[in-house]
Amino acid sequence: QVQLQESGPGLVKPSETLSLTCTVSAVSISGYYWSWIRQAPGKGLEWIGYIYYSGSTNYNPSLKSRVTISVDTSKNHFSLNLSSVTAADTAVYYCARVSGAGSGMDVWGQGTTVTVSS
């Protein structure tokens, strides 16, 4: 079945760039929208942004100046870069597939914890 797996450093220093990759298995990344979502400790869910396999993106305005999401169809993965991180960016980061326009996120990665600390 379709699986998503996040990978990347679990610890990032303040002011540096957080970089995560989501590897997609058992389905081509083409033809779908792919999202990043995060959840701060004990808090709710925050949508970060999405990318279409063609490369078009849409970001949450609250993070837009610091976020870049990219896709590599040859490796069947997509990535998140979040620059100038602070402790407020400490969270579990999830990648997810958008099942269709307006249809929700039907497949999620297990999540990866990123802590921002010196």
Partner 1 sequence: DIQLTQSPSFLSASVGDRVTITCRASQGISSFLAWYQQKPGKAPKLLIYAASSLQSGVPSRFSGGGSGTEFTLTISSLQPEDFATYYCQQLNSYPLTFGGGTKVEIK
Q: Which residues bind partner 1 (CB under 8 A)?
A: 35, 44-47, 58-62, 94, 96, 99, 101-106, 108-111
Cβ-based nearer residue to partner 1, 53 or 108: 108
**Phi/psi at 87 (nearest 5 deg)?**
-60, -25
Taking the complex as a whole, the smallest distance from the CB of residue 107 to partner 1 amounts, in Å, to 8
Taking the complex as a whole, the smallest distance from the CB of residue 76 to partner 1 amounts, in Å, to 20
Taking the complex as a whole, the smallest distance from the CB of residue 13 to partner 1 amounts, in Å, to 26
Cβ-based nearer residue to partner 1, 74 or 103: 103
**What span, in angstroms and rounded, lies between the C-alpha atoms of 104 and 100?**
7
Cβ-based nearer residue to partner 1, 2 or 15: 2
Cβ-based nearer residue to partner 1, 12 or 33: 33
Quote the longest CA-to-CA distance of the chain.
40
Measured in whole angstroms, the distance separating CA 117 from the mean position of its chain's CA atoms is 20
Parallel, antiparallel, or unpaired for β 112-116 and 105-108? unpaired
How long a stretch of residues is the chain?
Answer: 118
